[in-house]
Structure 1
Amino acid sequence: MADERADALIRLQEQMQARRGIWEGHWREVAERVRPTQNIFQQQRPDGDKRNEKIFDATAPLALPKFAAAVISFTMPSTQKYQALTTGDEALDENSNVKRYLEAVNDVLFKARYAARANFISQSSEVVLDLGAFGTGILFVDDVLGVGIRYKSFPLAECYAEEDEHGSINRLHRKFQYTAAQAAAMFGPQNLSEGIKRALERNPLEKFWFLHCVGPNDDFAPGYALHPTKGKKFSSCYIEFETRTVVDEGGYRTFPFAVPRYETSPRECYGRSPAMAVLPDIKMLNEMSKTVLRAGQQVVAPPIMLSDDASLQAFNVRSNALNHGYVDAQGRPMAIPFQTQGRVDIGLDMMNQRREVINDAFFVTLFRILVEEPQITATEAMLRAQEKGQLLGPPMGRMQSELLGPTTERELDILAMNGALPPMPRELMDRGAEVHIRYQGPLNQAQRAGVGVGIMQTIQSIAPLAQIDPSVMMIFDLEACARELASINSVPERLLRTDEEITALKEQQAQQAQAQQLLAAAPVAASAAKDFAQAQSMAGSAPNQVAPNILPTPAPAGGQ
């Protein structure tokens, strides 16, 4: 029997589905030509079927993974800690207790995110691929009992989103299928309808539709922190779609979905993607490919023109085939290939122009520069990095804020509730325990490359003056310049010496220099001591003689 809550949520789901009907047609066109594995919009397709029937040129499908690789390597490479935690107060950040706490929390966060069973790398890659193709990605951050944090990418075809008054996604519905066995494991057989129970015994692999609705909890009460529904800011409800009954209900303290969008237009909830921006070029390139293929086939294997007399006879076009009767008495051929005079090369040039536009949209051309010109100076490399940071800053920055930001907030909430975080210092608790994310990945370092370029260019400009007057270099703190360049170029902190180590090395170098000076002066001192000893010996052997006085003798009075 259907219940009122399930009916209300299904009606809301139908409204959300109707509002995005035009989007689904657009997404289907993109999926057919760019991401065919996700071509399940407005249609049910069997598993394993062919979905690339409309792809005649692979430029866009091959550019999409390169786009994802560029986004991931620039914003969240798994080889480094691309984000840190900060209080937003520089003085408080320098407090030793707060600093150690934030570093410890960040270590716990990254350990959980990249745990073996967390699945973050593979699922975040799927999200970025959806972002490049459809402009919107869905990442679910779940807390699995006995496992910990688990990440799951949901296909956009199954998900329906809505924004709050500030433009942030705060409601998401997912319409999906479970087999009878999966439903029983997820919700318990006692909570399922009689139809699924019968299928569980007869055909456990039979699929059924379910609806998962997550949105703001109208019954939220801060004083009921331990209550399964009232104590959660967001409600969660699983509905068996056919019987319109609730099979599971609960809530989340934080919104469990991260929904990054590439770019949004006014009054639109879903994002627009690079593939959407160049969809006309992608479709045009596919049509050009078909045309050039036909033209090339006619050039390589042209039609054969026959005379009227020979038109009824079979003509064999295979290699070394013998065709009798196709030469007249004068030796002229009676079968002639038809030359269309088609310019296949012009078609290829036009296709290459479309390919460049598509590769530009997916940033393939931008990342190809360093590969094509590997022999460049350090300053040129910094200039290239600065240019990348400027071009990639807006779209990548939005992905950081809409993917990594909500993901981190959800992770910290789960870790705190599971008691996995270290004790918070009193200094931070007194300030309200608020922390912020500071992104420090390659994208942010590329945006700082302008500072490195300024340092290098200034030192190069001052170098001629330093040859005239070396004192002009005294205006620079060369150690600070070196540390800044090391930070910009992502030199690991473990490879840099601390201030204490540098001071100790300077003292050691000063002692070594002093010792070398003493060693250099030792032969002179030994020779002087030897000469003095010889002089004393000679003076002792001749007591009536007086050693000469090397000081100037004053002149006698009167000038004599």
Structure 2
Amino acid sequence: MNEQLQDGDLAKADIRNHDRLKSMRAPWEATWQEIDERFPNGAGGFKQQTPGQIRGARNYDTTHISANKRFAAAGVAITTPEEKQYIRVKFHDKDLMKSRMVQLWCARASQRMYEIRHAVHTGFNVAANEDWDQLGRYGTSPMFVDGKPGRGMSYQTLHLSEVYIDVGYGGRTDTVHRLYKKSARQLEEEFGLDALTPKMRDALRQPGKENTEFDILHVIEPNRSWDREKLDWRRMPIVSRYLAVDEKIYLRRAGFFTHPIPVSRHATSAGEIYGRSPAIDQMPTIQGVNAMRNTLLRALHKAVDPAIMFSNDAGITKLVTRPGGLNPGLWEDGRPMAGRMPGGENGIPLADNAIEQERAVIRIEFLEEFYKILTDPNSRMTTTEVLEVMAKQGVLVRPFASRYATEKQDPVSQRELDLCIRYGQLDPFPPEVLEAGAWPHMEYENPLASMARAERVTKGMRFVEAITPLAQLDGGAVLDYIDYDTMAPGMAEDIGVPPEWIRDQAAIAQLREQREEEKRAAIEAEMLKAASGATLDFAKAGQISEAA
């Protein structure tokens, strides 16, 4: 145990603050427990269950489960599609981005960041899908982003059951408490033997006790003692403390330059800290569909295996309506003594229709129509029509996607850039960047970004299409309104054309000068040909005169 790390008052303050965060989260936990019961793939966090117990036993309909899987798949596809190089490293300074050296550095850095993120050992693809899956269920999802020299980046979506959050002045999550259990053996692996508490060491010394678990509270919050001149954790804007809760002993006190656990929320109402999910919003509908489906299953069972009526009651005095039940109730001529009350003859078709209507509501909330557009594109559309459809469909996801970009994509990107630059994973900055003191940022050239920019590109193309017929009336003078030199690179950037595919200004100027020279040479050749023809004509005319 490192005595220099210990601060009894701070440990008590951390525990008091954690109790405050627990009380803030408590009203949500009953809702999340119901979510765990209805969505069995996420059970085990808030819904305590016996190991091996069947999950989701109350479900008679699984529309919401498949809808959430598609929601997660669509979320990953429009934000971080693995099959496409979607990362673009840039600088905010537009003049700086005009430099060819800076453009090429950004292109190389973009490819490098994509390769680092999607390397197999990082676990990013798994974490991204779990992140969107958790957003669909709970509406709030934390992701742990870390990296070490020689080991690369690592990504892990944390289950919400072990995470407690608070927000800063601007409403963004800046404080994260993670309460989790680890065995003494695992803690020695993570922190080293010297950092462990007396109880942990005792557990390691006793054979068979090394797997004894301990509660660890990881506190991540803004550093209120931030001092850039210090050489310890105080020089970092974000503090990190690992506290053994039972003994109130710190295992490690450190810090981060960028937040290691970005927390995104699907949607929030004013004053809410935790997010609301499609599952939360549609829970009444999900429960209703399950109730109707349960009734329909019983009705179908009765229809396939109806109760049987017979003439001898054999002492039976009550009706048995379950499938296959035996009931007295036939006259000697075979007519039933009791008949069914009127109504319900068309119950099964009506129930099917009602259930399907409710299922449609659930699918809409989980953006299944948007998922279909991603998986079933209409290849017969023109480029302009595709862009228009993308712009319209972007309206469906923009409210959620904008929040995700702000709360998850940007913090994760800044964390990655910070670690990669500090660990020398990218090329050195060009001299222009060093002189400007600029810092890069990452943009995503993914379907979501394409949807956001599709409207501007579509308007430009529509404008060109609209005035082109007019050019035939005035000899093309109306086309002077279009600045093609600005429009072409702008559309290339909006569409996401790699910068190395676009010629720089010097190359373009050289090509244009070459074309002008070729035009001048062609004109001179035509003039020379015309002059030679005229001379030949004059000569022939003179010969004719002499002959005459």
Q: TM-score range by the shorter chain?
A: 0.7 to 0.9
Residue 394 and residue 290 in structure 1: after superposition, are their counterparts in 2 closer, same or farther (change >3 A)? same
Aligned equivalent of 2:178, options 174, 178, 185: 174
Of 396, 399, 405, which aligns to 1:394? Answer: 399
From 220, 223, 226, the equivalent of 2:226 is 220
User: Which stretch of the first structure deviates more once superposed, 406-415 or 191-200?
Assistant: 191-200
Gaps of 5+ in 1: 314-320, 536-545, 554-560
Q: 1:20 aligns with which of 22, 25, 28?
A: 25
Correspondence for 1:405: 410
Partner of 2:83: 79
The SS at the match of 2:424 is coil
- TM-score for both structures, normalised by structure 2: 0.81
Structure 1 residues 170-220: Cα deviation after superposition (integer angstroms, max 9, x where no partner):
211111111232122112234334544454421434433222112223443
Per the alignment, residue 161 of structure 1 pairs with: 165
Quick one: distance in 2 between partners of 1:438 and 1:550? Answer: 83
Contact persistence 1:299–1:342 (CA under 8 A): no
Counterpart pick for 1:420 among 405, 421, 425: 425
Letter in 2 for 1:62: S
User: How far apart are 1:550 and its partner, in Å?
Assistant: 8.3
What one-letter code is carried by the residue in structure 1 that aligns with 2:311? S
TM-score, L = length of structure 1: 0.80
The one of 96, 101, 109 equivalent to 2:113 is: 109
Cα separation, 2, equivalents of 1:383 and 1:61: 31
Contact 2:445 2:496 in 1 (8 A): no
> 1:350 maps to what in 2?
354
Q: 1:233 to 1:50 in 2, by over 3 A?
A: same
Pick closer, same or farther for the CA change 1:497–1:220 going to 2, 3 Å. Answer: closer
| 1:452 maps to 2:448 | no
Of the candidates 373, 380, 384, which is equivalent to residue 385 of structure 2? 380
Indicate how the Cα distance of structure 1 residues 178 and 18 shifts in structure 2: closer, same or farther if over 3 A, else same.
same
**Alpha-carbon distance in structure 1 between the residues aligned to 2:378 and 2:340:** 46
Q: Using the alignment, how far apart are the partners of 2:521 and 2:340 within structure 1?
A: 94
Distance in 1, Cα, partners of 2:24 & 2:96: 47
Partner of 2:294: 290
User: Which amino acid in 1 is paired with 2:263?
Assistant: V
Residues 290 and 380 from structure 1, CA distance in 2 versus in 1: closer, same or farther, beyond 3 angstroms? same
Relative to 1, partners in 2 of residues 1:42 and 1:4: Cα closer, same or farther, differing over 3 Å?
A: farther
Instruction: Indicate if the aligned counterparts of 1:307 and 1:335 stay in contact, CA closer than 8 A.
Output: no
Kindly provide the amino acid, as one letter, of the partner of residue 192 in structure 1. L
Paired position in structure 2 for 1:305: 309
Q: Aligned with 1:548: secondary structure?
A: helix
Name the CA shift for 1:506/1:387 in 2 (closer, same or farther; >3 Å).
farther
Q: Which amino acid aligns with 1:216?
A: P
Question: Measured at CA, do residues 97 and 369 of structure 1 come closer, stay the same or move farther in structure 2, by a change above 3 Å?
Answer: closer
| Contact 1:64/1:133 (<8 A) preserved | yes
Percent identity (aligned): 27
The 5-angstrom pairing of residues 132-531 of structure 1 reads 132-200=136-204, 201-224=207-230, 226-227=231-232, 229-309=233-313, 332=334, 341-369=345-373, 371=376, 375-462=380-467, 464-465=469-470, 471=476, 474-475=479-480, 476=482, 489-490=495-496, 500=507, 504=511
More divergent stretch after superposition (480-489 vs 73-82): 480-489
Alpha-carbon contact 2:267-2:277 (below 8 Å) kept? yes
Instruction: Say if 1:264 and 1:109 are closer, same or farther in 2 by CA, change over 3 A.
Output: same
Structure 2 portions without partners, runs of 5+:
318-323
Shift of 1:479: 8.2
Q: For residue 321 of structure 2, what is the aligned residue in structure 1? A: none
Aligned residue pairs total 524
- What is the Cα deviation at residue 79 of structure 1? 3.4
Instruction: Choose from 514, 531, 544 the match for 1:548.
Output: 544
Aligned to 1:128: 132
Give yes or no for the alignment of 1:39 onto 2:43: yes
User: After superposition, what is the alpha-carbon deviation per residue over 1:273-292, rounded to whole angstroms, capped at 9, x for unaligned?
Assistant: 22222221111111111121
SS at match of 2:264: coil
Cα distance between partner residues in 2 of 1:502 and 1:49 = 72
- How far residue 502 of structure 1 moved from its aligned partner, in angstroms, is 10
